[in-house]
Structure 1
Amino acid sequence: MKSRLSYDDVAWAKSDEVEESWIEFILYEGIYEEIERFLAGNYHTRQRADFKLFRMGGFNATFLMTFTDTHTSGAILRFPIPGVAMFPEEKVRNEVSIMQFITEKTRDTMPIPIPAISRWGERAESPSKLGPFIIMDYIDHAGSMSAALETPGSQQERPELSPDISVTKLKYLYRELATIIFSQSTISANRIGSLKQTGRSEWEVAYRPLSLSMNEIVRIGTLPRSELPNTTYDKASLYFEALAELHISHLKYQRNDAIDSADDCQRKFVSRFLFRKIIRDPELRDKWLSPRHNNGPFPVWCDDFRPENVLIDKDERVVGVVDWEFTYTAPVEFSHAPPWWLLLEKPEYWDKGLDDWCTEYERRLPIFLEAMRDCEEDVFRTRNERLGESQRLSSRMRDSWESGDFWIMYAARNNFAFDAIYWKKIDQRFFGPTENAGDDNICDVWKERLDLLEPEEKEIMEKYVDLKLKETETRPLSWDPDQYTLEYIARMNQASDSDA
């Protein structure tokens, strides 16, 4: 049985095909030169020195233009990549707003070095209608924080914390990261969602919280975009319930690679129904969601914040933080959980398994919490205030890990990791021990939980188990990208027909 919900390989291949074709398209000489002219036109009074495709990231293509003067070292033009960014216009709009919001709200307290935006626009305004775009200052840097934390010269495909890094260096680098997290946690709004500027220094939570997981379950989980949440939330419990429903919908709709047997399918439905029960049942919910936090305020949260997106200079000091897509105001419990990225690698991808990840994580967590406490002390010392234990983010993070709340937050946010987490880290805390709790037979625990399901949940499970087993190899791929990606696919097909 699958330890985690795999990606739909057919959808993933389709996403890769569109991405690779689009990259070839933009590198055609005519398009490339048009992009260069477009970016230069925003800096027409300056003498440019160089222009190049700077980076192909997880979601964006980034072009860099440098100049001969010293006003700024350069300018960045960034486009979401079709086939990868499934909500390009929404993603860009949200990212611009949150970058401006964070810059404004932290400027006089703990400023986060975010690139200054000179212009952004929709697809219709872009060269060759490539897509929505952001033009921003380039931040000169020596590397990323992730590279500083990895083994020097590492050629590993996925990042991993260097096992030989000294405690002194690790605490220093964690301290740099802790400052960003602490600053971000101090700004909040009265609803959960994405922000819109409504006036000078006036902001409103006007849009749904577009998350990284929402993008991915549409891209490689074949969930129709119509099944996604489309509202803001004034209570954390309502948002958590929406996330639980999203886990159930994802399992229903993903065609390929979601299950490998009837037992596997039932096990996955049972875990998702029980997770929803943990959120819906007031007695169970009170074990991890404090009523005083349910109504907010809701701090800023970035799904994709990690050391890779933190830029450092040659002295390993933070000079920039980039890639703020999928950032929104969220339940405070998200911020109270310690960062998953202390080891750089996610728990569900750890080569030696979840238990070993936890062992290694617990070795590093005290160092990070000590760095966070130093950050807190420095902040409140400058304000001439005494910091109570209940005010410390470091204390809340320690409590989240020790109680297991960390895993609820992680499972809620990460659809594809849910099955690697639920049975080992969440189930027994709320529903008690089982006979099949050992590593060898943990896949059978779900059979002991069937009596906890509601009759209608059992009916849904039976219906979808039969349906999914029958249709795994027969149902056509239901891939639901944005309109621009669909138009680009049609353009690709027309070109292929012409070549033939």
Structure 2
Amino acid sequence: MEDFHFTTRALSHPEILRRIITQLTNPSLARAARVARSWFAPATDALWQYGSLAHLQRVKPDKRRQQYASKMTDLAVENKHRSWDYTIARKLKFEKITSASFIDYLADQDRLCKSCQPFKSSPVNEVTIMDSIVHDAFFECIAELWPNISKIYIGTLFPSEITQQAFLDFVKSRPSLESLDVQEGEDDLQGQDLFPHCATRAELTALRLPFDISTEVVQKTIAQEGNLFPSLKSLFITMPSDAFSLLLGPFRNLTDLEVEVTDVTTAILSDISSITALERLVVILPCNYDLPKKEILSLRSLTKMRDLYLNRDGLDGDVMEAEDLEQLDFIDADFEELVSHFPGLCSLTFLCECTLTARALLSLADHCPRLGSVTLPSDVDLYGLGLDTRKKVLFPELWSLRLESLYTSQYTGEVVGTDFEHLSKRIGEHFPKLTDMAIKDTERGFADLASSFAPSVKSHRRRVREKVASDLELTEVKGPWIGSVCEMEDDEAYGFDTEEEDPSEDDEYYRYGAEDIDYEEDDESDDSVSITGPVSSTMPGGDVQLGGNERTQRSVHGQRDDFISQLRSRENDILKLAATKCGQPTAEFFQSEVCGDYYTRGSYNATFFIRLANGQKCVLRIPLRPCLAYCPHRKLECEIATMQHLSNCTTIPVPKVMAYRIEKADDPLSTFAILEHIDGKRLSPAELDNTPSENRLELYKSLADVYIQLRRQEFPSIGKLTRGVDGVCVGEKTASIMMNMMQLEGLDPIHIQNSYHDESGLLKSANIYTKMLLSIGYSAFLKSPNAVMVDMGLENLHHHFLFSKYVETWIEPGLDEGPFVLIHGDLHLSNMVVDDDLRLVGVLDWEWSRVVPVQYFSPPLWLSNRNEVQLAYPISWECYCVTEFAKFLRVVKSREEDMYQNNLLHDEWTRKMTDRAGPLVANALENWTDVDWFIFQRLFHQDPSLKKTALEAFAADDPLRTQLAEMKEHDCRIYEKDLELLVESDKNGQNSLSATIPQTLAWRAYLQNIPISAGALGATIAASAVAVAIWSRWQPSPSR
């Protein structure tokens, strides 16, 4: 073990801390103790005894930081450590430190340099300074304490705090400088001074200088020093073309080059082509540079090239207008001539405007068989691939294909005629390992492409784990990200440690692909595409998605439509009922501005907009009984109890309950609620994306108020709220959208749920609640007819097994007995009403609200317009954390301090986002269909080669696992045949909407000439036996 991380809770209990660290096999190997938000003297003693170098990343406020630093240095002077060899850390980081007082304390040489003499024996050789305010004395202190630093990483040089000479002296004082990486500089004069010094360092192997280095400086350096960059292998630099040409001699040994030229000569690419050792090349040329193909073709001499990125400045951002660019006369034959010389090419990014067709891809396929990632310019005609019959698989290793445009001309705006079904089929055939297909500028007609792309892709069963977001603008994200969410002193910090720039909102890119993906248009937005896969969800259009089980879904939707028809036939009774209950003589319907009608249907309620005789507007909501697996009157009772409690105890804008009826009767009008009507609008995801930052801030403020107050609604047990003698209490077991869907499908989660509650029907353990969800999810996996895809049963089973192990590391034993807090259960844009300034004026639909362990109190994951499946991909998760969530978290901190003078929710969420993607784990526990996606994205996406070895070992451990996987695949085949029967009945004019699972079994029994009961029994008995055997050997619970 090299690092260990102690949370606030551990530091608050020093005895626990001591026990943990004394269990380390070799405590002297512990390099760093990362200290959390509080300081505790006994804990400091324990850390010092077994740790070495304190990482002050999250200790706050400044007074606490100073106390901690003071304590550590005092212990160092007194030599209380058990060994003089206590400073074994090799990396030193100063991150997100913005307080001048703390910097002054660190820079107090009289204190630190004298009291910390033992630090001088440390082998620290790498220093990172990220987004920290530093000044001259700070560098003097670092140079004194750690003289062996040879690698320097600076996020940004602030010329207002650092004099050029101080930093230059610091760099010069390093005896063996191997690497200098300056990510951002605000004063080119710094670069002019650094360049001559770096050019003569014999040990320097890597250099990044983001300053414009002038030709005069280069000439002067060559004249004075002679032999430049003798050991340099990696370089990022910005300079004029003629200055670069002067340095060709010293650059002959470069293997990694990133260069941005500030002016143009026709020989720039020819000069680069003479560096024959290059393995990675990034060239960014001015946007107005008309590239001659002769110079581009000269790059073919770089035969060792593995990664090539060629771009003109501006083309990787927004698409530019035609008059701003001149198209490059670079055609397929030229492209083939270029790539034919790069047989070892693994990555190609070619974003200079040119005219390429499918032949360009065919050339790559012929000459670059190892290609894994390709990005090409606009107007690459993928449809031409269908004309090629030489071979079916073009790119056996290609996993990423990015196109600036698929079928929309960037210059004319004309849409090329397409056959989408043909295209999707060809993509699946030619790119068998494709997991990332990114398309930019596909606004026109993408819905048509999406609707025909899905069925074909399903047939190929590509292992692709993220869906297309409605906004498909793609640019490359710079990363990777490391570290964890930090405490910040100012509102400008991003909230995450990064090795490179924190990406802006526009720097995010989406990965999408294709296994079992269904595309449906979002009813809330005409120009967006909302896509759902096997994940059970509630669509904006109001349909209940039943875990991908279309058979059950057809039946439920048919019964729902009949129920609604009955309601619509009694609209006069509804008006009389509303008037009577509200004490008015008459009532009438009015047209809602949101839905454009006086009636609308959600997933679980029918809604009528009514105006009473006194002019007051209200909303009458009637539960859609066919869509509910729970008693509608009990569900409504819990919802009303929750809303009344929130109205009395919080300022959350909950609609006022004007009247209601809760009766146990068959009449649809025996259970309903009349709520006040809230004027406002609902945002679509597309509208949120286009919202200016100042308006989005207003939304974040009011949304933060909701979460902050919900977090403080604590209760003694887990469940749903009901009305009691002394107010509300937890009186029902939890119910969620997913559990409702599972119960409708016949997966019976309620039976398992009951077995985990005590005799009084209560549940007061977070760990047992988590164990219950694991059992429900695994049971659903076993019982669902379409839980796996054909040929992927063992992999799906393995993912559930790995998820149970993953959850073991996520559980927090110290939170087993609470707190238990109230959540909304479905807090998305569709359930929020805002005014013209985007202030939240209404939070609707509390029917799935419930009290859960605090680990399940998650932030809004939809802020970046990604669903939970997309966020499971690590880079997408990090993008979310450093962009929209970081902004929202700052708002939460500010509002929480104003409202309660503490940071309870802010601190909890800060820890959750770093703790193994905690909210995504909670989501997968509550939505079993997300387990497979979550595990694949987190564990195998970056290195799919690990999957095969892991699967073989998993199958070898227990032969029954393979048998169960085969049975689940058999279930899937039968399920698909059943669907074909239903579709065929549609074509023949039969009423397939009433088709149910028993009817399907009857059909199967007819084919086999056996009784229906025997058909049902035979379809399940074998799988049940194996499932019981597997269950007895491995139960997905935290305790095993």
Same fold (TM over 0.5): yes
Equivalence for 2:626: 83
Cα distance, 1:448–1:105 mapped onto 2, change above 3 Å:
farther
Q: Which amino acid aligns with 1:294?
A: D
- Counterpart residue type for residue 710 of structure 2: Q
Deviations 1:394-431 (A, max 9, x none): 23212211222222112112222222112323xx5xxx
Q: What is the distance in 1 between the residues matched to 2:587 and 2:614? A: 8
Describe the SS at the equivalent of 1:234. coil
Does residue 919 of structure 2 align to residue 393 of structure 1? Answer: no
Find out whether 1:258 has 2:787 as its counterpart: yes
Q: Is the 8 A contact 2:822 2:852 kept in 1?
A: yes
- 2:847 corresponds, among 306, 318, 325, to 325
For 2:63, the equivalent position in structure 1 comes to none
Q: Say whether 1:308 aligns with 2:812.
A: no
Equivalent position of 1:291 in the other structure: 813
Does 1:197 find its partner at 2:723?
yes
Alignment equivalent of 2:954, drawn from 428, 438, 450 = 450
Give the C-alpha shift of residue 340 in structure 1.
0.9
* 1:63-94 alpha-carbon deviations (Å, 9 max, x no partner): 12112425xx3222211223323223332222
1:172 matched residue in structure 2: 698
The aligned residue for residue 936 of structure 2 is 423
3-state DSSP of counterpart to 2:625: coil
2:582 is aligned, of 15, 39, 43, to: 43
Equivalent residue, structure 2, for 1:273: 801
Which residue does 1:94 correspond to in 2?
Answer: 638
Measure the CA separation in 2 of the matches of 1:366 and 1:448.
41
Would the alpha carbon gap of residues 402 and 114 (structure 1) be closer, same or farther in structure 2, given more than 3 Å must change? same
Are 1:237 and 2:776 counterparts?
no
Q: Is the 8 A contact 2:869 2:933 kept in 1?
A: yes
Q: Which of these two proteins has the greater Rg computed from alpha carbons?
A: 2
8 Å contact 1:223–1:254 — kept in the other structure?
Answer: yes
Separation of aligned partners in 2, 1:378 and 1:322? 26
Q: CA deviation at 1:314?
A: 2.8
SS of the equivalent of 2:862 reads helix
Q: Retained in 1: the 8 A contact 2:567–2:668? A: no
- Once the two structures are superposed, residues 238-286 of structure 1 have per-residue CA deviations (whole angstroms, 9 ceiling, x without a partner) of 001111111101111111x322225x2222222223333444xxxxx4x
- Displacement of 1:444 after TM fit? 3.8
- Contact 1:123–1:131 (CA<8 Å) still a contact in 2? yes
Task: Tell me the distance in 2 between the aligned counterparts of 1:131 and 1:446.
Answer: 56
User: 1: distance between equivalents of 2:584 and 2:658?
Assistant: 14
Q: Distance in 1 between the 2:713 and 2:842 partners?
A: 19
User: How has the CA–CA distance of structure 1 residues 463 and 226 changed in structure 2, closer, same or farther, with 3 Å as cutoff?
Assistant: farther
The aligned amino acid for 2:780 is: H
CA distance in 1, matches of 2:887, 2:950: 37
* 1:437 Cα offset (Å): 5.3
Q: Which residue of 2 aligns with 1:103?
A: 647
Q: Deviation digits for residues 146-200 of structure 1, max 9, x if unmatched?
A: 34xx444xxxxxxxx41x4333222221111111011111011011111222213
Residues 129 and 57 (structure 1 numbering): CA distance in 2 closer, same or farther, change over 3 Å?
closer
Query: What is the DSSP-based 3-state SS (H/G/I as helix, E as strand, rest coil) of the residue aligned with 1:330?
Result: strand
Aligned to 1:343: 864
1:119 lines up with 2:654 in the alignment: no
Distance 2:718 2:832 in 1: 25
Aligned match for 1:207, one of 726, 729, 732: 732
Shift of residue 297 of structure 1?
2.2
Q: Deviations over 1:130-156 (max 9, x none)?
A: 5632222222x2202x34xx444xxxx
- Between the aligned partners of 2:864 and 2:848, the Cα distance in structure 1 is 22
Cα–Cα, structure 1 residues 151 and 268, in superposed 2: closer, same or farther, change >3 Å? closer
Q: Do the aligned partners of residues 200 and 271 (structure 1) sit closer, same or farther apart at CA in structure 2, a change above 3 Å counting?
A: same
SS for the counterpart of 1:10 is helix
Gaps of 5+ in 1: 153-160, 280-284, 429-435, 478-488, 491-500
Partners of 1:214 and 1:228 within 8 A in 2? no
* Structure 1 CA distance for aligned equivalents of residues 952 and 853 of structure 2: 32
**1:123·1:130 contact (CA, 8 Å) conserved in 2?**
no
Structure 1 residues 312 and 450, CA gap change in structure 2 (3 angstroms): same
CA distance in 2, matches of 1:83, 1:114: 27
Write out aligned runs for 1:108-187 (5 A). Answer: 111-122=651-662, 124=664, 128-130=667-669, 132-139=671-678, 141-144=679-682, 146-147=683-684, 150-152=685-687, 161-162=688-689, 164-187=690-713
Given the alignment, which residue of 731, 741, 746 partners 1:216? 741
Does the 8 Å contact 2:578/2:587 carry over to 1? no
Query: Could you list the per-position Cα deviations for residues 77-128 of structure 1 after superposition, in whole angstroms to 9, with x for gaps in the alignment?
Result: 211223323223332222122222222332xxxx1121222333345468x4
More helix by share: 1
Q: 1:34 is aligned with what amino acid?
A: D
* Aligned equivalents of 1:463, 1:83: Cα separation in 2: 36
Equivalent-residue separation in structure 1 for 2:777 and 2:623 (angstroms): 26
- Give me the TM-score of the superposition, normalised by structure 1: 0.76
- The amino acid that maps onto 1:236 is A
Are residue 379 (structure 1) and residue 880 (structure 2) matched? no
How far, CA to CA, are the matches of 1:81 and 1:5 in structure 2?
A: 23
Q: 1:142 to 1:196 in 2, by over 3 A?
A: closer
Equivalent residue pairs, number: 426
Identify if the C-alpha distance between structure 1 residues 333 and 360 changes in structure 2 by more than 3 Å, giving closer, same or farther: closer
Give the 5 Å matches for 1:12-31.
12-28=553-569, 31=570
Asked whether the equivalents of residues 173 and 316 of structure 1 are also in contact (C-alpha less than 8 Å), the reply is: yes
Equivalent residue letter for 2:748: P
Code of the residue aligned with 1:85 in structure 2: it is L
Any unmatched runs of 5+ in structure 2? Answer: 1-460, 466-532, 536-547, 592-597, 979-993, 996-1040
Task: Indicate whether 1:470 and 2:947 are aligned.
Answer: no
3-state DSSP of counterpart to 1:136: strand
Change (3 A) 1:133 1:225: farther
Q: In structure 2, what is the Cα distance between the partners aligned to 1:83 and 1:354?
A: 39
Structure 1 position 372, deviation (Å): 0.7
- For residues 415-456 of structure 1, give each alpha carbon's deviation from its aligned partner in whole angstroms, at most 9, with x where no partner exists: 22222112323xx5xxxxxxx653655754651662897x6x
Question: Would the alpha carbon gap of residues 417 and 362 (structure 1) be closer, same or farther in structure 2, given more than 3 Å must change?
Answer: farther
Amino acid at match of 1:395: D
SS of the residue 1:229 aligns to: helix
SS state at 1:121 partner: strand
Structure 2: how far apart are the matches of 1:463 and 1:229?
28
User: Against the structure 1 CA distance between its residues 464 and 406, is the aligned structure 2 distance closer, same or farther, given a 3 Å change threshold?
Assistant: same
Tell whether the 8 Å contact from 1:268 to 1:419 is kept in structure 2 after alignment.
Answer: yes
Whole-angstrom CA distance in 2 between matches of 1:467 and 1:300: 40
**Alpha carbons of 1:355 and 1:9: their partners in 2 closer, same or farther (altered >3 Å)?**
farther
- CA distance in 2 between partners of 1:124 and 1:445 (Å): 56
- Larger RCO, structures 1/2 (Cα 8 Å, 6+ apart): 1
Q: 1:442 to 1:394 in 2, by over 3 A?
A: farther
**3-state secondary structure, aligned to 2:660:** strand
Larger deviation: 369-378 or 18-27?
Answer: 18-27
1:365 and 1:226, CA in 2 relative to 1: closer, same or farther beyond 3 A? closer
Which residue of 1 is the match for residue 231 of structure 2?
none
Deviations 1:357-402 (A, max 9, x none): 652553211111111111112113xxxx4x3xxx431232122112
Q: Distance in 2 between matches of 1:195 and 1:296?
A: 17
- Is the contact between residue 347 and residue 353 of structure 1 (CA under 8 Å) also seen in structure 2? no
Q: What residue is the counterpart of 1:369 in the other structure?
A: 889
Cα distance in 1 for partners of 2:861, 2:705 equals 16
CA distance in structure 1 between the partners assigned to 2:946 and 2:723 by the alignment: 49
After TM superposition, the score normalised by the length of structure 2 is 0.38
SS of structure 1 residue aligned to 2:841: strand
Give me the whole-angstrom Cα distance separating, in 1, the residues matched to 2:638 and 2:865. Answer: 26
* Matched residue SS, 2:753: coil
